[in-house]
Amino acid sequence: MSFLYFLEDIRNPILDFIFSAVTLCGEETVFMAIGMIVFWCISKQKGYYLLCVGFVGTVINQFLKMLFRIPRPWVKDPNFTIVESAREAASGYSFPSGHTQTSVGLFGGLALKFKNRALRIASITLCVLVPLSRMYLGVHTPADVGVSIVIALVLVFALAPIFEKAEKSPKVMYILLFSLTAIMLAYLCFMHFYNFPEEVFHVDNVHNYTSAIKNAYTLTGCMLGFLVVYTVDLRWLKFETKAVWWVQLIKIVGGLALVLAVKELLRAPFESFLPANTWARMLRYFLMVVMAGSIWPITFKYFAKIGGKKE
């Protein structure tokens, strides 16, 4: 808390704006968008790798949040203030930091997998600035971000050689995807069957439990979608990632728009007949992944014919 008080003392409107913008790089939408762009336009295997590092990191992060149940800094110390614009995204318990986990997993993976010097420098810089932004904004402690950095880097380096083997062997890829799906299901079971203390369900804390349940169903839906996407591409689709620049732009803009449409337009219909934070959410994210990885890529071969493949 002493370090957070130091950062609180140096806050000013300019730094507030800068770090509020930097912290967005740890949001789910940025992670999903960059992962899908890599998957569509650069390398399917690198896309699988980046997205799976993020998904596994998130489930570990959420498990630790619910296991330790450490309150946010301003809850532990009512005299401490935060940058108010950061409050809305600071849902769930404090330890470890989800934004840090996501950003270091994503940008650490980019720095490891891509040799471009500028990209590596930018990625490593964000691996430092996003965790710092979480502390500057007052929503996490050094322990929160430190543990998340360690977990993310372990996943980045541990999963890289496994995905390299999986690229050459569908059997290895299936074992990997089924194993990751089993981890998601185990976390889902933990959330439903673990004997949490009554304080978790108190009106002041229940949003933490709700947030964790939502993430459990979200991650399970995503991983089940991955299994469908990999099978469809392996057996039938086999889409190309290379294309001329304007085709790549169409793939990115059109794909992101379609995935966003699935996410938002199907929310109300699904929630009209399924529980909102559980089965409706799982189905919606499952369809988002299938749309991104199987349905939208069907169009790629037609775009390639119009523009010609980039050699």
Residue type, 243: A
Q: Is the pLDDT of residue 310 over 60?
A: no
259 pLDDT higher than 70: yes
Distances (CA, A) of 203 to 208, 209, 278: 10, 11, 20
Query: Does the pLDDT of residue 311 top 50, yes or no?
Result: no
Which band of pLDDT confidence, cut at 50, 70 and 90, is reported for residue 276? confident
Interval 44-98: pLDDT, tens = 999 999 999 999 999 999 999 999 999 999 988 999 999 998 888 887 789 999 9
The mean-pLDDT minimum among 87-96, 182-191, 269-278 falls in 87-96
Query: Residue 87 has what pLDDT?
Result: 87
Percentage of residues of the chain with pLDDT beyond 90: 82
End-to-end CA distance of the chain: 54
pTM: 0.91
pLDDT at position 48: 94
Tell me the average pLDDT of the chain.
92
Q: For residue 289, which amino acid is it?
A: V
Q: What is the pLDDT of residue 199?
A: 85
Mean pLDDT of 116-130: 96
Mean pLDDT of 165-180: 94
Average pLDDT value for residue range 121-137? 96
The amino acid occupying position 156 is V
pLDDT tens per residue across span 21-42: 999 999 989 999 999 999 999 9
Distance CA 242, CA 42 (A): 7
Residue 201 neighbours by CB under 8 Å, 6+ apart: 209
pLDDT tens digits for range 283-298: 999 999 999 999 999 9
Q: 202: pLDDT confidence band, cut at 50, 70 and 90?
A: confident
**What are 136-168's pLDDT values in tens digits?**
999 999 999 999 999 999 999 999 999 999 989
- pLDDT (0 to 100) of residue 203: 73
- What mean pLDDT is predicted for residues 188-209? 86
pLDDT at 14 over 60: yes
pLDDT-based confidence at residue 15 (cuts at 50, 70, 90):
very high
> Over 50: is that where the pLDDT of 200 sits?
yes
Tokens of 110: 């980019």
C-beta separation of 31 from 54 below 8 A = yes
* Residue 66: half-sphere exposure toward Cβ, Cα within 13 Å: 27
Cβ within 8 Å of residue 163, ≥6 positions away = 45, 48, 49, 52, 176
